[in-house]
Amino acid sequence: MTPATCAVCLRQMNCYGRRLRRTGPEQLNSRNDLVSPPQHSRVNGWSLPLHTFQIVALLFYTYLAIVGFGIYIPLLPHGWKYAAYAVIGVLFAHHLVAHLVAITIDPADQNVLAKKNYSSPMPVFDRGKQKHVIQNQHCYLCEVDVGPKAKHCSACNKCIADFDHHCKWLNNCVGGRNYWFFFNAVASAVLGVFLLILVILYVFIQYFVNPAELRTAPQFERVIENNTWLAFLPVAPAETTAAGILAIAVITVLLGMASLLLLGHLLIFHLYLLGKKLSTFEYMTEQRRTQNTRDPESDVEITENTSVRMDPLQVGSCSPPASRNPSSFWCL
């Protein structure tokens, strides 16, 4: 084999080796990777498509309201019954209003709202011209100047004022314009579910201790058998069995305790953030920075991956590893 032939072989092997070692950032040289397809911005949480979590949350609220106010609160003794109607009723109504307002509000930055042009496709973002969507407080997708804490959410495809996180349960971003409605919805849900669980547990225990205390409503005077119970008092009395009352109680308590655990965890997390004067996004950014400081070997890999996936959109949907994000299940 001549020296020239050896040189050609070596060059081919080196080229082959470079192709095998090619990493993600190098693929940005492809013309197809320089631009992202245009999309329409979402107005609020009612913009289609609705998220599955959003529908589940509304259905679960409806279930608790029907079961609580239709079955178990009417079985309480006379004095406790009206107190439960008042307190739990206010909490459920407050939660519903706060929840719906948090969904309905458009959390976009003020300058984005001033344009009010959600019907047109977003401009194409060229990664070859700008590394980030937002540079020097100017968004190259929304084509407006934004506030210092604004972030461009890829799910809503617009800049959010004082961005906190994107919540799948609201199907909307949580920012400065609707954060307190979100917080009130969480806090009222925790209190409402907790009190409703107490009511159901009281009815469940009292059935075995002294069931007569649960049959004080005037409609029970027309019921002959003790095993026959009434639901949806006093408006539309419907006969049911004790087994049905107890079975629904067990199911509702289990579901309520699961939701109370998750909602309570989320509430404590946001109380912590308020005490630290941090947003969810700022907390997660600090956690990433701390993790990179502790693990310098992975810093290069994380930085490279971030430059490809996160930088062009500033914020996708705020979802770091679940172990470092206490609200990762409820709000992503």
* Residues 166 and 155: beta-carbon distance below 8 Å: yes
**159 three-class SS:** strand
DSSP calls for 79-109: HHHHHHHHHHHHHHHHHHHHHHHHHHS--B-
Residue 167 annotated as catalytic: yes
The number of C-alpha atoms within 13 Å of 64 and in the hemisphere containing its C-beta is: 28
Cα separation of 170 and 103, whole Å? 5
Neighbours of 94 (CB within 10 A): 17
Q: Name the residue type at position 308.
A: V
Of residues 44, 328, 53, 52, the one with CA closest to residue 160: 44
Cα separation of 177 and 162, whole Å? 8
For residue 13, what are the CA distances in angstroms to 146, 269, 271? 50, 55, 59
Query: Kindly report the CA angle at 158 between 154 and 161, in degrees rounded to 5?
Result: 110
Give 313's DSSP letter.
G
Q: Which residue in the list 153, 156, 159, 167 is annotated as catalytic? A: 167
* Residues 87 and 138: beta-carbon distance below 8 Å: no
21 beta partners: none
**293 three-class SS:** helix
**188 three-class SS:** helix
Give 49's DSSP letter.
S
- C-alpha 303, offset from chain centre: 27
Of residues 74, 57, 17, the one with CA closest to residue 236: 74
* Residues 313 and 133: beta-carbon distance below 8 Å: yes
Strands of the chain, DSSP E: 134-135, 138-139, 144-145, 151-153, 158-160, 165-167, 172-174, 228-231, 238-241
Quick one: tokens of 282?
A: 């700022």
Neighbours of 30 (CB within 10 A): 8
Q: Which residues of the chain have pLDDT under 50?
A: 8, 10-35, 299-330, 332
Cα separation of 266 and 276, whole Å? 15
Cα separation of 217 and 77, whole Å? 8
